[in-house]
Amino acid sequence: MVDITHKSNTLRKAIAQAMVKVSDLKTIQAIEQKKVPKGDVFEMAKTAGLFAAKRTSDMIPDCHPLPIEYTNIRYRIEELAVFIEVEVHTIYKTGVEVEAMHAASVVALTMYDMLKPIDKGISIENIKLLEKKGGKTDYRKVVAENDIRAAVIVCSDSISAREKEDRAGKIIMEKLKAHEVSVNNYVIIPDEKERIQELIKQYSKAGIDLLILTGGTGLSPRDVTPEAVRPLLERPVPGIEEAIRNYGQERTPYSMLSRSVSGLIGNTLVLALPGSTKGAAESMDAVFPAVMHIFRVLAAFKHD
């Protein structure tokens, strides 16, 4: 199965469709009047569909077991066709479109099995996904709506002195690129309060939308990035820090020591992330792409 351990839980929804086509109007009447010999077609098929939604991972090898928290099965009759719609919800790391389509197909197969003794001309058609919501694609739409400019600052004495190679800054840029955000500036500086503040002021005045600092968030007295960033923030956004810490603690208890910082300076979102490669990568996974919704909010304020 695909590795989804880096993903976060979100509310995910999917609606799928299948169609059962019969050959005689009498078959439709038998369904509506509950006169099919094998029983109530709609109720039996609905029950089968509910089982199918919950057991999709038992049938489809690459599907992850996940909590099905809502399933609704609806029917619509148009002439000789019975349209089946299955809606599935979950709060999990991956979507439920396969669960919805699996359930729709099993509902259709159950109807076929119950109706074939009275109608030899039945067909199953148009099994397809109608709608899905809640995955990263939804949150990514804000990038298409706004030209987001980003800058990455690596705060490290050893990397600045070329004693070590920067990995955290590069992984941050890779992840920004994956979310279709262009990085306009990438600099490496010593972990010095005055220099950090100077660059933050420079980039925020230049209209950079997203400023990400990495490094200098440890517990050593030499780690001063949080102390440099916090006094400059006009509007702290502590929820971002909480999301990063919660995400990290699901993976290692050491994340309780995190000193990430987040907030706004004007319309510039400033994030101070850990300097380790793993810490930076996990912090990005924790809040992106959902954090980019902030630019949609800021754009609305501009128009007001």
Measure the CA–CA gap between 259 and 81, rounded to whole angstroms. 60
Buried b (16+ CB within 10 A) or exposed e, 189-227: bbbbeeebeebbeebbeeebbbbbbbbbbbeeeebbbbe
Answer yes or no: 113 catalytic: yes
* CB within 8 Å of 122: residues ≥ 6 apart: 20, 21, 22, 23, 27, 112, 115, 116
Active-site position among 113, 119, 138, 157 = 113
Q: Beta strand 123-133 with 10-21: parallel, antiparallel or unpaired?
A: antiparallel
DSSP string, 21-76: E-S-HHHHHHHHTT--TT--HHHHHHHHHHHHHHTHHHHSTTPPP----EEEEEEE
- Give the residue numbers annotated as catalytic, written as ranges: 113
